[in-house]
Amino acid sequence: QLQESGSQLVKPSQSLSLTCAVSGFSVTSGGYCWSWIRQAPGKGLEWIGYIYDSDSSYYNPSLMSRVTISVDRSKNQFSLKLSSVTAADTAVYYCARGVMGPTYYYYMDVWGKGTTVIVSS
Amino acid sequence: EIVMTQSPATLSASPGEKVTLACRASQSVSTNLAWYQQKPGQAPRLLIYGVSTRATGIPARFSGSGSGTAFTLTISSLQSEDVAVYYCQQYDNWPPWMFGQGTKVEIK
């Protein structure tokens, strides 16, 4: 199970912070990555980035300069920080677990329910 | 980056009808292609990974096929509970992982 929590209303130019609590499995388990995806109102899915091995990460180039994903092993959770937000960052944010498949590439098999973040003054 | 293009944008079919959704990649993604189902107000759910492997608990009426750049998701007998938006996603070449823009499936 994955459960998102965090900032729901953020002012423009500030930072958005979200946490994904993981239950039923460990964020330190091998063969998994921990990802964030977002969906603007009425739009499709946009991958934000993922972290694996607790400290290795990949980010969407379109967001890379503003995104940080981190893992908190003690709390079995991972987090997203997005800086300098604008109205374009208003979206439902999902966390997801990526599992390494038979081709040794990750695909996302478990998703959180999502949390809505609104950027507005 | 790899661009994923889905067609049609919207599909309307009768219950029991066979429906086919298409997904095309701008370059080969090998077999690293997944399909997700998103029902209204819900999070996406994994349907298919590795082009054709159904995820746990997914009914057999859902099947995937294709290779390289052209892929299809088939629902062999459309049910009312299949009303959703379906997304394909490549996980072969990153960053970024890219999703298609989605196909909305409706019941006539």
A44 vs B32, B50, B99: nearest CB: B99
pLDDT average, residue stretch A26-42: 94
Q: What is the pLDDT of residue A7?
A: 85
More confident residue, A102 or B40: B40
SS3 at position B81: helix
pLDDT > 90 fraction of chain B, expressed in percent and rounded = 94
Contact indicator for A58, A64 with CB cutoff of 8 Å: no
The residues that bridge with A68 in the sheet, in sequence order, are A81
Q: What CA–CA distance (Å, rounded) separates B87 from A29?
A: 28
pLDDT digits (tens, 9 = 90+) for B18-34: 999 999 999 999 999 99
Averaged confidence pLDDT in chain B: 96
Q: State CA A50 to chain mean position distance.
A: 7
Q: What CA–CA distance (Å, rounded) separates A106 from B29?
A: 13
Q: What is the pLDDT of residue A103?
A: 85
A45 vs B32, B55, B87: nearest CB: B87
More confident residue, B93 or A96: A96
Does B106 have pLDDT greater than 90?
yes
Q: What is the pLDDT of residue A45?
A: 97
Does B12 have pLDDT greater than 90?
yes
Q: What CA–CA distance (Å, rounded) separates A109 from A100?
A: 10
pLDDT digits (tens, 9 = 90+) for B44-74: 999 999 999 999 999 999 999 999 999 999 9
CA distance A19 to chain B (A): 17
DSSP code string of chain A: -EEEEE-SEE-TTS-EEEEEEE-SS-TT-TTEEEEEEEE-TT--EEEEEEEETTTEEEE-TTTTTTEEEEEEGGGTEEEEEE-S--GGG-EEEEEEEEEE-TTS-EEEEEE---EEEEE--
CA distance B2 to chain A (A): 12
Q: What is the pLDDT of residue B22?
A: 98
pLDDT > 70 fraction of chain B, expressed in percent and rounded = 100
Q: What CA–CA distance (Å, rounded) separates B73 from B52?
A: 9
Q: What is the pLDDT of residue A101?
A: 86
Which chain A residues in 10-39 lie under 8 Å from chain B, judged by CB atoms?
37
Q: Do A107 and B92 touch (CB under 8 A)?
A: no
Q: Do B91 and A105 touch (CB under 8 A)?
A: yes
Does A54 have pLDDT greater than 80?
no
SS3 at position B32: coil
Q: What CA–CA distance (Å, rounded) separates B108 from B102?
A: 19
Averaged confidence pLDDT in chain A: 95
pLDDT > 70 fraction of chain A, expressed in percent and rounded = 100
Q: Which 8-state DSSP code applies to residue B91?
A: -
Nearest C-alpha neighbor of B25 from the set B12, B38, B34:
B34
